[in-house]
Structure 1
Amino acid sequence: MAFFEVLERVRRRPDMHLKPAGFVTLCAFIEGYESALIDHGIRDDHDVLFLMHFSDFVRTSTGHEDERDSLTTPEGILDIGQLHWQTAITRTEQDDGEAMVLFFDLLDRFKASRSLR
């Protein structure tokens, strides 16, 4: 099943797929889905490219394109690069339920901008 189809199933019935239904659980679901593909040797370059381009789209759409993420280590602060789509969304919308609504809105806009289904 294609990644977008899986996400559409989650969107239609979040309580069936996510416990509790919300953005944090959705992110864990997506990461688990990606891990399962890797574990089973299923490589889908479309999905990998989607997540890479989606992060760029989300950063731009939420006004976080110039922000960077950092990690504090014993040696100091380490710059780990541009914000991931999850971080950009949670910085834009702190409410877990509203962040999930924002995710699906951004997903729809991203797909429309790329003529994806």
Structure 2
Amino acid sequence: MTELKDVYDLLEEVRLRPGMWVRRSSLQHLDSMLTGYWVALEVHGTEEEFDFRHTGPFSEWLWKRLGMSYPSALGWAVEIERAAEVADRPAMEMFFEMLDEFRADAA
């Protein structure tokens, strides 16, 4: 593994080996891991943009992308897992496709 510079580098490592990083490839477990990452940023006073808080930029983008008129109380991970189940697709795969769309829209 190379040195990670930010949360997106970490997510690229997860993309390459989701089974190694995330138990049962659950987006809810990924969300928990990212919450821990965010807490570590706060504890250590590290200045880094973090888009994955419950009401953060990724969530706001996702609600619009999924056609939701209000933020989900369940969070982005549950909503992507629901959408993946309806589409009969792996949730982790759908997350990374949406992450790529989010980053392209933000650019």
Band of TM-score, shorter chain: 0.7 to 0.9
- Is 2:70 the partner of 1:67? yes
How far apart, CA to CA, are the structure 1 residues paired with 2:106 and 2:9? 16
The structure with the largest alpha-carbon Rg is 1
Q: Percent identity?
A: 30
Q: How many residues align?
A: 98
Aligned-residue CA RMSD in angstroms? Answer: 2.3
1:89 to 77, 80, 83: 80
How far apart, CA to CA, are the structure 1 residues paired with 2:30 and 2:65? 20
The match for 1:56 is: 60
Q: Deviations over 1:41-97 (max 9, x none)?
A: 2132x22xx332211110111111x13556xxxxxxxxxxxx7423432442348x7
Query: Any unmatched runs of 5+ in structure 1?
Result: 71-82
TM-score (norm 1): 0.69
Greater strand proportion: 1
Distance 1:69 1:112, change over 3 A: closer
The match for 2:14 is: 10
TM-score (norm 2): 0.74
Question: Could you tell me whether the CA contact under 8 Å between 2:63 and 2:72 is conserved in 1?
Answer: no
The match for 2:91 is: 99
The structural deviation recorded for 1:33 is 1.0
The match for 1:22 is: 26
The match for 2:47 is: 43
